[in-house]
Amino acid sequence: MKRKQQQELVSLKDIRYVLLDMDGTLLDKHFDDYFWEHLLPEKYAEKNCISFGKAKDKLLNKYKMHEGTLNWTDIDFWSREVEIDIPALKAQIHHLIEVHPHVEDFLRMLRRHRKKVFLVTNAHYKVLEMKLRKTELGKYFDAALTSCEIGYPKEMLAFWEKAQKKLGFDREATLFVDDTEAVLTTAQQYGIRYILYKAIASSQSEKGASSKFPAIDDFGQLMFLDRKVKV
């Protein structure tokens, strides 16, 4: 389902459902970037008696092979693939899990206005549990849905078909925010009306950009949704 690539005026009263990604959108992606690009290559190098550079190159090639598939965020798959306990290793740096600025303010505002708020993530359920436990954000959501539960990653239309059946959102009255343009493109193709790109995914990386979707840097920019804004 194609939709014109343009911004439109929207107010909070036009939105009944809000779908939110987790990593990079609500949470600082620095935790994940540090884990996959530094900590795991370091441990992989030690285990296989190779240099850090060689270990990182090998792992980056492995990551690329599975990008956009269910394996991409399946930590049980990666535990088997690299023969390292990924959940245990992630737990060692759980202190790096941080919520982006103004996220809780935005979530509280949505609850005050009685919007249906859903977390939709490609993250593995074990990672989801760890992050919700650390951040205590779970209380703001009516439900949380993972790609491993659905059986498809968010990059595929089948995810959205199944997600709508499970969550019951109305595509014409739904706002979706994510930091991955490919995911937003699929959601738009499925017919979700209001799409926003989260440009600052990590506090330690450069700001992203989208040529297809309106973008926000910070959820503080959405705190005035009681007035009409372009989305």
- pLDDT tens digits in sequence order for the chain, 231 residues long: 334 444 555 678 889 999 999 999 999 999 999 999 999 999 999 999 999 999 999 999 999 999 889 999 999 999 999 999 999 999 999 999 999 999 999 999 999 999 999 999 999 999 999 999 999 999 999 999 999 999 999 999 999 999 999 999 999 999 999 999 999 999 999 999 999 999 999 999 999 999 899 999 999 988 866 555 555
- Mark whether 177 and 206 lie in a shared domain: yes
| Predicted local distance difference test score (pLDDT) of residue 12 | 82
pLDDT value, residue 11: 74
User: How far apart (Å, rounded) are the C-alpha atoms in residues 75 and 59?
Assistant: 14
Known catalytic residue at 14: yes
Same domain (yes/no): 144, 211: yes
User: What pLDDT, on the 0 to 100 scale, is given for residue 5?
Assistant: 42
* 90 and 173 fall within a common domain: no
Q: What pLDDT, on a 0 to 100 scale, did the predictor assign at position 6?
A: 44
198: containing domain: 9-28+98-230
Which candidate, 28, 26, 11, 3, places its Cα nearest to that of 175?
11
pLDDT of 3: 41
User: Would you list the DSSP string of the chain?
Assistant: ----S---EE-GGG--EEEE--BTTTB-THHHHHIIIIIHHHHHHHHHT--HHHHHHHHHHHHHHHTTSGGGG-HHHHHHHHTS-HHHHHHHTGGG--BPTTHHHHHHHHHHTT-EEEEEE-S-HHHHHHHHHHH--GGG-SEEEEHHHHTS-TTSHHHHHHHHHHH---GGGEEEEES-HHHHHHHHHHT-SEEEEE----TTS-----SSS-EESSGGGGTTTTS-EE-
For residue 6, what are the contacts with CB-CB under 8 A and spacing of at least 6? none
User: Residue 231: its pLDDT value, please?
Assistant: 58
- 197: number of Cβ within 10 Å: 22
What pLDDT sits at residue 202?
A: 97
Does 3 map to a domain?
no
Q: Are residues 69 and 127 in the same domain?
A: no
Is position 118 within any domain?
yes
Q: Pick the catalytic residue: 14, 33, 76, 218?
A: 14
Question: 215: which residues sit within 8 A by CB, 6+ positions away?
Answer: 196, 197, 198, 199, 208, 209
Are residues 87 and 104 both part of a single domain?
no
Chosen domain end from 95, 123, 138: 95
- pLDDT at position 2 is 38
Q: Are residues 141 and 103 in the same domain?
A: yes
Whole-model pTM above 0.85? yes
Distance of CA 230 to the CA centre of its chain: 22
